[in-house]
Amino acid sequence: MANLLWLQGGACSGNTMSFLNAEEPSACDLVTDFGINVLWHPSLGVELGDNLQKILRDCISGAIPLDIFVFEGTVVNAPNGTGQWNRFAARPMKEWVRELSDVAQYVVAIGDCATWGGIPATAPNPSDSQGLQFLKRNHGGALGKEFRSKAGLPVINIPGCPAHPDWITQIVVAVATGRGAEVALDDFQRPKTFFQSFTQTGCTRNMHFAYKVSATEFGQRKGCLYYDLGCRGPMTHSPCNRILWNRQSSKTRSGMPCLGCTEPEFPFFDLAPGTVFKTQTVMGVPKDLPLGVDKKGYIALTGAAKNAAPAWAEEDIFVV
């Protein structure tokens, strides 16, 4: 039996909705098959008021062992560092977060807001929001760079806007079943099993990427979305084209550009007008090249690839 507590800070509840749609394993499987006891969750918890506060206090005192503390949403510090803009159970949420993190075996941040601050922390960040251990790319966040949970791990970051439901439940199961030490994390504390590969890995448009055939409008059945429509698939670490959404598809498969929502800088360019769904260029060359590719190599490859492109690459290949 592993006790799990889930709280929400500055959040839209998107990750909760995602979590409730998990399939492998499902949210119910967590309870019935993996022995996870959900102490409280904003959408599932039955306790209110004093009873809820007692659960939280008992976790902090140790009366209830807290095995997994899941946090969704940003840690809100406004105004003036007090956190009063996000009160929960009679005190600023940031105080609950600090004390619960200190007693939890594992702390798991779900979604961009809890990992790096996400959209609420976009400039000018009026709510003075932070992620649990990062603010965008800067290590630190609400708990500080040196934070380690009782099991000796930093916060396990599962980013995304929202995070894929199965990323959430699979990591929760891993730590609940004693395999937390096996969860290898990258530099941004993301589980490598999900975030080592790129969004582009498994994209059905990879042939168009290779032959430099561009999609120029949303929903086209041919063409790569990277060249013109701002797709961040070649620079973004996620398994969106390996672990499909709703077991069916992904953004890029359906003709929508990847927004790079598992990376700390999301949303990119602070959502300045003209920067969303448009590849940003300098002298016609993309500002953000596929990871590890330099400008000279990119230009040389493009010339060669376009020369070699077969005619079929210019036609719709996903016909109904």
Partner 1 sequence: MVQMEQDALRKHLRTLLEEGLQTEVEPRAYTSEDINHLVHRLQSLRPDDYEGKLQIAGFQLDPYRPPGEVGGDIVQSCETCMYYVVHRQYCELPELAIPVEKDWSCRLWRI
Binding site for partner 1 (CB under 8 A): 212-214, 216-217, 227-228, 274-275, 278-286, 295-296, 298-300, 302-303, 306-307, 309, 311, 314
Considering the complex, state which of residue 123 and residue 311 has its C-beta at the smaller distance from partner 1.
Answer: 311
| Shortest Å, Cβ 278 to partner 1 | 7
Instruction: Supply the minimum distance, in Å, between the C-beta of residue 97 and partner 1.
Output: 38
What is the C-alpha to C-alpha distance for residues 125 and 144, in angstroms, rounded to an integer?
19
Q: How far is the CB of 271 from partner 1 (least distance, A)?
A: 13
CB of 277 to partner 1, least distance (A): 12
C-beta closer to partner 1: residue 23 or 318: 318
Smaller CB separation from partner 1, 184 or 300: 300
Burial class (CB in 10 A: 0-12, 13-18, 19+), 272: exposed
What does the block give as tokens for 133? 């251990």
Tokens of 289: 């090249």
Q: What is the DSSP letter of 191?
A: B
Helix (H) / strand (E) element for 36: namely strand 36-40
When the beta carbons of 46 and 282 are compared against partner 1, the nearer one is 282
Q: How far is the CB of 225 from partner 1 (least distance, A)?
A: 11
Cβ neighbours of residue 7 closer than 8 Å, sequence gap 6 or more: 40, 42, 69, 70, 71, 72, 88, 93, 96, 97, 100
Nearest in space to 14 (alpha carbons), one of 75, 85, 73: 73
Nearer to partner 1, 134 or 211 (CB): 211
Considering Cα of 141, then 42, then 12, then 3, what sign does the dihedral take?
A: positive
Q: Shortest Cβ distance from residue 312 to partner 1 (Å)? A: 9
> Which one, 51 or 281, has the nearer CB to partner 1?
281
Cis? peptide before 124, omega within 30° of 0: yes
